[in-house]
Amino acid sequence: MSNSIQEIKKEVEGFVVSSETELETFRMRFISRKSVIGELFGNMKSVPAEERKAYGQDVNALKDLAEARFQFHIDNLKSGSKKVENHADLTLPPIEDHFGSIHPLTATRQRFIEIFERIGFNVSSGPEIEGDWYNFTALNFPENHPAREMQDTFFIEKNPDIALRTHTSSVQIRVMENEKPPIRTLSPGRVFRNEAISARAHCVFHQMEGLYIDKGVSFADLKQTLYHFAKEMYTKDTQVRFRPSYFPFTEPSAEIDISCQICHGEGCNICKYSGWVEIGGAGMVDPNVLENCGIDSTIYSGFAFGMGIERITMLRYGIKDLRLFTENDIRFLKQFSSL
Ligand code: DAH
């Protein structure tokens, strides 16, 4: 078989056809009368008589191959376009996409962290199932202390006690045990209390704990930090009020109220017509707590706070029922799709 027949055969076999244009190129090159194969037929006369028969057979075989490949490419293209015809009806209406969006509680948590990251806080976390030490004892709730009854707890095991954490204050202990001051940290997370579910309470909810330990930290720092937070989270004219309170792990302790974001002081059922809404508790970390974590309370002091993320979110968006957060009602969630 002559060289050129061999070469053309290879070319026919390797030729890729994936469009009508390429099919036409194939036809022109190998099938039409003026094709390279047509030329080979034209050369027949100049082939010496004794080789002519073999030459003729080779060229004919090549012609058959080219025609078979041509038919193959035609069929291939057809079945490809058939697929398109079957699957893409361009007259159909578009399929609506159902992308999820950020949950309002997540948006509040992210905004919270953003505000505090700018003033040097990092983020820490701890387990949702806690031992007695982290949830109570290290936080200055001595055994049998009446404060332990302040929170109805889901105990998983008794003696030794293991429980679903009732607050994120447990993370304060974990951080202070592992890090040296200065400490500036936020600990967001889920907490659990044995409470009846209502518009204002749930047995599973979220808190944001804050902790700042350094030399010379005072109550003034706590107040200034929370003023800053309230104005950043809500509006510049948001007011903050501290009410004296009691927590075993802080001394002095306070409840933090902000001016009602729903009625702006006019009076509504969210603020119970007082113009103020409680968003959490705060105080100066009790020296006993510092000592429990191996921090010298004669050198260091600090403040802590714990806030309810649900409550803060409800005030932020005017949500009146806390159960909406976990009911997975698309009509509710869709209202936050721009977050
Ligand atoms: N752990 C408290 C609670 O769940 C909230 C709290 C109050 C946290 C005062 C604090 C704090 O860090 O200083 O009710």
For ligand 1, the distance from its centroid to the CA atom of residue 236, given in whole angstroms, is: 25
Q: For residue 176, what are its two tokens?
A: 């202070």
Ligand 1 and 304: CB distance under 6 A: yes
Angle at 202 between CA 199 and CA 204, to 5 degrees: 150
Ligand 1 and 135: CB distance under 6 A: no
Ligand 1 atom showing the smallest separation from residue 169 Cα: 1
Ligand 1 and 283: CB distance under 6 A: yes
The pTM for the full model equals 0.73
Q: Give the separation between CA 165 and CA 226, rounded to whole angstroms.
A: 25
For ligand 1, the distance from its centroid to the CA atom of residue 322, given in whole angstroms, is: 20
Report residues of the chain scoring pLDDT below 50.
none
**In the 8-state DSSP scheme, what is residue 46?**
G
Bridge pairing between strands 162-164 and 250-259: unpaired
What's residue 142's pLDDT?
81
Q: For residue 202, what are its two tokens?
A: 């749930």
What's residue 178's pLDDT?
97
What's residue 174's pLDDT?
98
Q: Give the separation between CA 218 and CA 279, rounded to whole angstroms.
A: 21
What's residue 253's pLDDT?
98
- Using an 8 Å Cβ cutoff, are 73 and 16 in contact? no
Q: For residue 247, what are its two tokens?
A: 């927590």
Residues 38-55: b if buried by 16+ CB within 10 A, e if exposed? eebbeeeeebeeeeeeeb
Count the neighbouring beta carbons within 10 Å of the beta carbon of residue 14.
7
How many CA atoms lie less than 13 Å away from 257 in the CB half-sphere?
15
Strand partners, 42: none
Ligand 1 and 205: CB distance under 6 A: no
Nearest to 190 by CA among 119, 127, 250, 255: 127
Mutational pocket test of ligand 1: of 221, 225, 245, 305, the residue with most ligand atoms within 8 Å of the beta carbon: 305
Cα separations in angstroms, 176 against 43, 86, 116, 133, 288: 95, 65, 19, 13, 13
Q: For residue 311, what are its two tokens?
A: 């409550």
What's residue 262's pLDDT?
87
**In the 8-state DSSP scheme, what is residue 94?**
P
Ligand 1 atom showing the smallest separation from residue 150 Cα: 14
Ligand 1 atom showing the smallest separation from residue 166 Cα: 4
